[in-house]
Amino acid sequence: MILCVEPIRFTRHARNRMRRYRIGDALAEDAVRSADWEEPTVSGRLNCWKRVAERFLRVTVREEPERIVVISAVFKRQPPAGSAHP
């Protein structure tokens, strides 16, 4: 789980995806700070998954020394195959 003290910054790509999928800042931050489950991805990135009603929110982040950078945020209908989600 990611520490709560680091500020969160959203990339332009993340902002565009959040606008497209109607994901608010608070929901994305909640997914990062209290993810239901996490999975590592390429280049040191981390996918933070949170179940929201009937869908799954995936927020891709990169941890930097002084902040957390949100790279993308999208809703998925199903969790990733083979994941150990609740």
User: Quick one: pLDDT at residue 27?
Assistant: 98
Q: Is residue 39 in some structural domain?
A: yes
Show the domain range for 61.
8-76
Based on the structure, what is the number of domains in the chain? 1
User: Quick one: pLDDT at residue 79?
Assistant: 83
Q: Is residue 83 in some structural domain?
A: no
Q: Is residue 41 in some structural domain?
A: yes
Instruction: Note the pLDDT tens digit of each residue in 3-56.
Output: 567 899 999 999 999 999 999 999 999 999 999 999 999 899 999 999 999 999
**Is a pLDDT exceeding 80 seen at residue 85?**
no
User: Quick one: pLDDT at residue 81?
Assistant: 72
pTM, to two decimals = 0.88
Q: Is residue 45 in some structural domain?
A: yes
Q: Which residues contact 32 (CB under 8 A, 6 or more apart)?
A: 2, 8, 48, 59, 61, 68, 70
User: Quick one: pLDDT at residue 61?
Assistant: 98
Read off the CATH number of the domain in which 22 is found. 3.30.2310.20
Q: What is the DSSP secondary structure assignment for residue 75, as one 8-state letter? A: E
Q: Is residue 3 in some structural domain?
A: no
